[in-house]
Chain A
Amino acid sequence: MTRNSIVFDNVSYNFGKKEIFKNLSFEVPAGQTVGIMGPSGTGKTTLLRLMGGQIQPDNGTILVEGKDINKIKRAELFELRKCLGMLFQSGALFSDLTVFENVAFPLKEHTRLNGEMIRYLVLIKLNSVGLRGAAHLFPRELSGGMQRRVALARAMALDPKLIMYDEPFTGLDPIALGVISNLIKDVGSVYECTNVIVSHDIEETARISNLLYVLSEGEIIGQGSPQDLKKDDSPRLKQFLNGLPDGPVPFHYPAPEYLDSLIGVKNTKRTIIKRDD
C-alpha cells in the first residue's frame, strides 16, 4: 500500500470573504515528485502554507507525514518541521547572515555536528546549486535567481523527508534552470524525498514530476501523470496547458463589465474607474 506524505481531506479555506478552496481533497504519495500547477491567484502558495501549518484551514483535515498538522501542539509542529524543507518564492534568506551562514543555520540549530562537519555539508549543498564561490557574500549582493538557489541549498540542508518548492524555476537562466530541475529530481530519487512543486512552468514541472495536479478556482481540474494530463480532453485543462486566453478558466479577476467600468455606471460597488462628470 502506498504511503502518503500529505493528505488533504475536504479542506476549505477562505481569505476574508474570498473562498480560496472548497472541500479540496488530494494526496501526495511519499517519495514522489508532485507538481501543483494552476493560473495566478488560484491559491498555490496558500496550499503550501497550509501544508506547512503556517495557516489553518476553516474546515477539513491536513495530514503531513501522518500527523494532523492543525491538531498537534506547537512544539510538535516545530519538531515535525525539522523534517520538512520549504523554498519560498522570494527566497526569504536571512539578510544579516552570509550565504554560508544561511545554509548552515538549520544544521547549527538542529544537529550536534561540529564546525568542520557543518562546513563540509554547507559547501556540498552550495556546490550542488553552483554557489560555493559565493559563500562569503550577503544575500543583498546576489541576484534574485542566485538568492533562490541559496534558499534551495538551505531547504535541502537537513536532507528532509519532504520539500515544498514555491515557484522554484522563476528567475533562473536556462543553465541554472536545467541544473536546478535535475537537482530536485535527483534529491527525490536518491534520498527518497517527497517533492511538492508549485509552479507555472508547465514544461519543466511536467518533465520532473511523477504526478501532476492542476488547480483552478479552488478545485482540482486535472490530475494524473504528465502523459495522462496531455490526453485529458477537459476544456479547462486544455485551456491551461495550451495557454489559451479564452475558455472556461477566467483570465480576469472578478470585476464588473468592462464597458460599465469605463463609462462609470452608478450604483455599482465594484466600479473601478468613474467618469469625471
Chain B
Amino acid sequence: MLIHALRRIGRFGFEMLSSMGRALRLLSSALIRRPDHRNIPLIIGQIYQLGVLSILIIVCSGFAIGAVLALQGYTQLVRVGSESALGLGVALVLVMEIGPVVSALLFAGRAGSAVTAEIGLMKATEQLASMEMIGVDPISRIIAPRFWGGFIVLPLLALMFSVVGIWAGSLVAVDWLGVYSGSFWSVMEQGVDFFDHVMKGIIKSIVFGFVVIWISLYQGYDSLPTSEGLSKATTNTVVFSSVWILVLDFFLTLMMFEL
C-alpha cells in the first residue's frame, strides 16, 4: 500500500518535471531565434486576435469593478468624513492590484483558452505536422507570434481596465453620490505616483502576460490529440493561469513593498 502510494507520488513528480522541461523547451525555442520580418504581420494579427477582441470584456469588467469600488469605498469613507479620498483609493486599488490581476484572469479565460484550443486543434488535425513537412517551423510561424502578441497586449489591457475603472468610479462618486469633483481628482493626482504606483501595476501585468501566454501555448502544443485531451488542456490553461496569477501577485506585491 505504502509502496504503491510512493510509486504514484514518484510518477507524479517525474511527470511534472518532464512537463516543466517540455514547457521550458517550447519557450526557449519560441524566444531564442533569429528575428524574422515576416513575423511582424503575424504578431500584429495576434495583437488584434488576443488584444483588440478582448477590449469589450475588459471595458465592461473595468467599468463594473470601478463602479463597485466607488460605491463600497464611499459607504465606508463617508462615515469618517473622508469621501474626498475616494478617488485616490479607487485609483490605487485599480492601478496596483485589481487592474493587473483581474485583467490577467479575464485574459486567461478569453484569449488564453482560445490560444490553447486553436493550437490543440491544429495539432489534433495534423496541421502542425503538415506545416513541418512543408518546411515551415510551427514554433516560428504559430507559437512565437502568439507569444509576443499576448505578451504585448496584456499590460495595455490592464491599463485600459484601470482607466475605465477610474472613470466609472468618478461617475458613481462625483455624478451620482455627489462627491466634490475637485477633491476627487486632485487628491488622486497628488497621491498617485507614476513610478511608485502605475509602474508597479505595469510590471505585474507584464509578468502575468508572460506566464499566461506561456501556459496557454504549452497546454495547446502539449495536448493529447483527442477531444478529451483538448478539453483538459483548455481547462488547465484557465486553472493554472489563475492560480499562477494569484500566487505571483502575492510575491510581486511582497517584493514591491520591500517588506
Contact = CB atoms under 8 A, between A and B. Distances in A.
B129 A54 contact: yes
B207 to A, nearest CB: 30
Interface string B109-149: 00000000000011001110111111111000000000000
Consensus secondary structure, chain B interface: helix
B135 A86 contact: no
A95 B129 CA distance: 14
A236 interface: no
B127 A54 contact: no
Nearest to A109: B136
Contact of B125 (A84, A85, A90): A90
B53 to A, nearest CB: 15
Contacts of B132: 52, 54, 78, 81
Interface in A84-129: 84-86, 88, 90, 92-95, 105-106, 109-110
Interface range on chain B: under 10, 10 to 19, 20 to 34, or 35 or more? 10 to 19
Contacts of B127: 92-95
B126 A78 contact: no
A94 B131 CA distance: 9
Interface residues of A, number: 23
A64 B175 CA distance: 74
B126 A92 contact: yes
B144 to A, nearest CB: 14
Contacts of A109: 134-136
A82 B135 contact: yes
Contacts of A92: 125-127, 129-130
Contacts of B122: 95
Contacts of B131: 94
A78 B130 contact: no
Contacts of A86: 130, 133
Interface of A: 52, 54, 74, 78-82, 84-86, 88, 90, 92-95, 105-106, 109-110, 151, 154
14 contacts: A54-B129, A74-B137, A78-B137, A79-B135, A81-B134, A84-B133, A84-B135, A88-B133, A92-B125, A92-B127, A93-B127, A105-B136, A109-B136, A151-B130
Interface of B: 121-122, 125-127, 129-137
